[in-house]
Amino acid sequence: MEMAKKIEPYVRILGFNNKGKELISEIMKKNPKLQLVTSVKKFLDNCSNKNLRRMLELDILSTNIYTLAYEYESWANLDYTNKIIIL
């Protein structure tokens, strides 16, 4: 939590529709330094900020722990395999 208070966080895009696409574009125009995560792997491969990397790694760990409670077909690393939902 302390680390998260000190850095500019990333925004993880899980899905969008046409209106959301417009909104994301407007947000990026007003905040060009904002980090958008559309692919976990690409972000981890290209991000040089160790704190942002650590925050995303914690997100991935959280997803993996959450999926352990699935009654059927508990899959690890869904953050790497699930695609963005475009409506």
What pTM value is reported for the model?
A: 0.77
Q: pLDDT tens digit string along 20-62?
A: 999 999 999 999 888 899 899 999 999 999 989 999 999 999 9
Task: Give the chain's mean pLDDT.
Answer: 88
Residue listed under structure tokens 């980090």: 35
Q: What is the pLDDT of residue 84?
A: 86
Asked if residues 84 and 20 have their Cβ atoms less than 8 Å apart, the reply is no
